[in-house]
Structure 1
Amino acid sequence: MQVAEKERMPRLSLGEERNMVTQLLLLNITVFILLFFIKIIYQMENTGLAAFERDILTNTRFPADPMVLLTKPWTPLTAMFAHTGFWDVFSNMVWLFCFGTLLQQTGGFRLIVPLYILGSLCGMAFYLAGMNLAPVLQPSVAGGHVIGAGAGVMAIAIGLTTLAPRNRVFPLLLRGGIPVWVITLIFLALHAADIYNSGSYAATGLFLLGGAFMGFMFIAQYKKGRNWGAPVNKVIFSAGHIFHPKEQKEILREEYLEPSRPSATPYQKIGTVPEHKLNELLDKISAQGMHSLSPEERDTLLRASRENAEDF
């Protein structure tokens, strides 16, 4: 069977340049540690937590008041990478690792950062609009704020579910594994319970709803050949390689940036079987043997073999 060579996605590991999940994890954790040590310094200097919130957090969180936002236009960027509580950053990073790794393996590393950034920005836009347009929420605008990776992680989770809802994980736990959509339902249920317990229905709900909306729309358009993430990747690439020689920059550009006009589908297909899926099955057989395949995977491999034979 002749199969086009698959672009192998790197596993989660430090120092892997194309593993965008790793880089997002490191960035979020680094910002959390930085804020934590700044907080300790404020306490050691006897200036108190009130001074820490006034000097640092008010310049980091995304405000609900548009007038405050105009004076602090950098907060949409800082807020999406900042956390103030250990369990907040822990839970967000666990889900980012889970959904981000699966999406990176399914759709490629170029989707991760744009989805995270656009999902976070859309979540903030939903939050800002809802807090200022809904009369019942307007009294909470003064002093209201959101912070954290919640909307970005939500966008990645919904994006993965939109792209490949029936992909399966944890094949050793259940026969054939657990579908992605089931994991997403658990994720949403846990978030709903957390919102209920915290009482921040409007703020957190609007923030996460915006991320979910962007995750769905992003991947829905991506499946139609419209890549909303290409401009984001170009900006990040230009900023990260501004001091590179022109020749080296052109080589890296071809490797890390997608074409300006993506094809009608996010991946090539062999008949009705996606190429990446077929390559994953072949890798699994090579590593674990034919007996490791589930009945569904055996049917997929058989169908691909028949389609390939018909082509000849």
Structure 2
Amino acid sequence: MDVVEKGEPMPILSLGEGKNMVTQLILVNLTVFILLFFTQVVYNIEGNSTIRFNLDVMNNVILPASFSRLAHLPWTFITSLFVHESVWMVFGNMIWLWAFGSLLQRKAGPGVILPLYLFGGLIGNLLYMLGMQFIPSFHLTQFFATYYGSTAGVMALAVATLLIAPNVRIFQQLSGGIPMWIVTILYIIMAIAAHLFSHNDLTYLPAVIGGALFGFLFMNAWKKGNDWGAGFNKALHTITHIFHPKGN
């Protein structure tokens, strides 16, 4: 694998590059956030409370903690990966998504980004639900607990970036730059601390661990020549090109 040398420019966020999967993911997350935000505004304008909005809308897009509730809302296993509660939550996650994703995309290509984000998030969701079932202190809260956000997916990208480009330096104006491995470790610490010392709680940690574990396994296999996302990307390309003329 090639290594970005000191002084090489970092990749930029390009809205005009068709294969920039990082940009597309950011736009999807921001679009979902804006749609939910304005839906809540409409609810409030019509005299409905935020509680009513949460019951009618949010509960249908965020992941419930119990499998019995999930059976009635199976799509939330995916939609929850793109839902954010606040401006700061979506802003923070998108900054990290761009930071890790743009470098990883440059080093490994756009084909690894969506599988890492999506399946890292899904594994995170699965471990979250398993934790809620089998960890006694978590199990007691599963009836009303929920999970959402892109943290697990971003964590998968972060760990994958650490494996493929640990010595890339950013902020080179600061004494030659900061190695990517330091940035990644700081991100992991902050992601865990956010659930320990903020309004979030320990029940989210299995999801974070799940994203990190998938990122490690995926990129370790990729470095050995095994692209776990190849089949998914091929299927996605087929589905999205069903109505395209042959040869396009």
Calculate the TM-score normalised by the size of structure 1.
0.74
The letter of the residue matching 2:90 is V
- Counterpart for residue 35 of structure 2: 34
Describe how 1:151-230 pairs up with structure 2 within 5 A. 151-175=152-176, 177-198=177-198, 200-230=200-230
The letter of the residue matching 2:238 is S
Decide whether the 8 Å contact of 2:124 with 2:152 is kept in 1.
yes
Decide whether the 8 Å contact of 1:10 with 1:19 is kept in 2.
no
Distance 1:192 1:91, change over 3 A: same
- Counterpart for residue 44 of structure 1: 45
The letter of the residue matching 1:227 is D
Decide whether the 8 Å contact of 2:160 with 2:219 is kept in 1.
yes
Aligned residue-pair number: 239
Decide whether the 8 Å contact of 1:162 with 1:219 is kept in 2.
yes
Q: Distance in 2 between matches of 1:203 and 1:134?
A: 9
- Counterpart for residue 77 of structure 2: 76
Q: Percent identity, aligned pairs only?
A: 42
- Counterpart for residue 68 of structure 2: 67
Calculate the TM-score normalised by the size of structure 2.
0.92
Q: Distance in 2 between matches of 1:98 and 1:184?
A: 10
Report the alpha carbon displacement of residue 169 of structure 1 after superposing the two structures with TM. 2.0
Decide whether the 8 Å contact of 1:10 with 1:16 is kept in 2.
no
Larger radius of gyration: 1
The letter of the residue matching 2:152 is A
Report the alpha carbon displacement of residue 202 of structure 1 after superposing the two structures with TM. 2.6
Structure 2 gaps of 5+ residues are 1-9
Q: Distance in 2 between matches of 1:139 and 1:11?
A: 45
SS of equivalent residue, structure 1 residue 193: helix
Report the alpha carbon displacement of residue 240 of structure 1 after superposing the two structures with TM. 2.0
For each residue in 1:57-86, what CA deviation from the matched residue of structure 2 results, as whole angstroms up to 9, or x when unmatched? Answer: 111001111011111111121110111211
For each residue in 1:117-172, what CA deviation from the matched residue of structure 2 results, as whole angstroms up to 9, or x when unmatched? Answer: 01100100110111101122111110111111110000000110012212222222
Where relative contact order (Cα < 8 A, 6+ residues apart) is larger, the structure is 2
SS of equivalent residue, structure 2 residue 226: coil
RMSD: 1.5
The letter of the residue matching 2:71 is L
Moved more, 186-195 or 125-134: 186-195
- Counterpart for residue 139 of structure 2: 138
- Counterpart for residue 281 of structure 1: none
Q: Distance in 1 between matches of 2:11 and 2:20?
A: 6
Decide whether the 8 Å contact of 1:62 with 1:76 is kept in 2.
yes
- Counterpart for residue 92 of structure 2: 91
SS of equivalent residue, structure 2 residue 166: coil
Decide whether the 8 Å contact of 2:11 with 2:103 is kept in 1.
no
SS of equivalent residue, structure 2 residue 102: helix
Report the alpha carbon displacement of residue 46 of structure 1 after superposing the two structures with TM. 0.9
Report the alpha carbon displacement of residue 199 of structure 1 after superposing the two structures with TM. 5.6
Structure 1 gaps of 5+ residues are 1-8, 249-312
Report the alpha carbon displacement of residue 203 of structure 1 after superposing the two structures with TM. 2.0
Report the alpha carbon displacement of residue 242 of structure 1 after superposing the two structures with TM. 2.0
Q: Distance in 2 between matches of 1:67 and 1:196?
A: 28
Q: Distance in 2 between matches of 1:15 and 1:162?
A: 28
